[in-house]
Amino acid sequence: TILMLLGLTEPSGGTVRVLGFDPLRQPLEVKRRVGYLPDQVGFYDTLSARENLAYTSRLIGLASEDAAGRIDRALAIVGLAEVADRRVSTFSHGMRQRLGVAELLVKDARVAILDEPTNGLDPQGTSELLALILNLKAEGMTVLLSSHLLGLVQSICDRVALFRKGRVGLVGPVDELARDVLGGAYVVELETEGIDVARVLAGMDGVATIVESDHGHSRIDADRDLREEIARRVIEAGGGLRNMTLSRTSLDEVYSRYFAQEELSDAA
């Protein structure tokens, strides 16, 4: 899919448009407006970070007087200003990825396509790169992130698309997907005594599912934070409320349930 968006391969069916342009028939129009950051960024090792960005600026037709300021600003944003004149061959993987983000800023891309950008990064490097991705968003750039790390996706993406067999199966904000697949975007974990939680909460508005387990533990999937109403009902029913916690439904849960449902549907 990413190669199709970049005009590097033809779609097997249908059409592709990026900012209104056909990547195959109007590749230069797309390349002027779209930046690409793969998991392994290709830079000239014998050139410095600044020289690599200067080369990029010449390729996109940026005047030298404008390029210098844009390059300095980009290097400062990604934290590479102090090593701007070092050869890229001396850079770590994380530094190369940050230089890739700087290149997106120099290009002033309207769309940034990031393909597994955190692969091979340690936790600190991942955290630093995610902060830079959020900075791209703050700069007004549309970011398309491809990743198998669903927790990472949930932490920074406004909208998520799940692909199945080469097609988009689900698309939307995580909370919407959670409501569609699981019935709710919130999870309330309860520890009670002396009551039947399923009976007490039966028919309660906003409750999607109630699962009771041993020792008074229950899980409630809900479409909003219902802790106050749940606590009130438990107490009014004469039950004891020992513990209650709230969490948001994870994208991992949505993913697992959706694909399990689809596999059952295929087998039927």
Q: What is the pLDDT of residues 178-227, one digit of tens each?
A: 888 888 889 999 999 999 999 999 999 999 989 998 888 999 999 899 99
Is 10 in the same domain as 101? yes
What is residue 14's predicted lDDT score, i.e. its pLDDT? 84
Give the pLDDT of residue 143.
Answer: 93
Task: Give me the domain span that covers residue 191.
Answer: 186-248
- Is residue 175 within 8 Å of residue 190, measured between CB atoms? no
3-state secondary structure of 18: strand
> Are the beta carbons of 30 and 47 closer than 8 angstroms?
no
Helices 123-138 and 93-107 cross at an angle (nearest 10°) of 10
The predicted model scores a pTM of 0.79
CATH at 222: 3.30.70.100
Q: Are residues 144 and 190 in the same domain?
A: no
Q: Alpha-carbon distance 185 to 5, whole Å?
A: 31
State how beta strands 34-37 and 111-115 pair: parallel
Per-block average pLDDT, block size 10, for the chain (268 residues)? Answer: 86 88 90 88 94 93 88 94 96 93 92 91 90 88 92 92 87 90 88 93 92 91 93 94 92 91 82
256 within a domain of the structure (yes/no) = no
Domain annotation covers residue 262:
no
Indicate whether 52 and 125 sit together in one domain: yes
pLDDT of residue 86: 96
64 and 106 Cβ atoms separated by less than 8 Å: no
| 14 part of a folded domain | yes
Q: Copy the structure tokens of residue 52.
A: 């690599």
* 120 & 218 share domain: no
Does 201 lie in the same domain as 117? no
What pLDDT score does 94 carry? 92
Copy the structure tokens of residue 116.
Answer: 């597994």
Helices (H) then strands (E): counts for the chain: 11, 9
Q: Are residues 32 and 145 in the same domain?
A: yes
Q: Would residue 80 count as lying in a domain?
A: yes
Helix (H) or strand (E) holding 90: none
Question: Are 133 and 8 members of one domain?
Answer: yes
Please answer whether residues 30 and 21 qualify as being in contact, where contact means their C-beta atoms are separated by less than 8 angstroms. yes
CATH of the domain at 96: 3.40.50.300
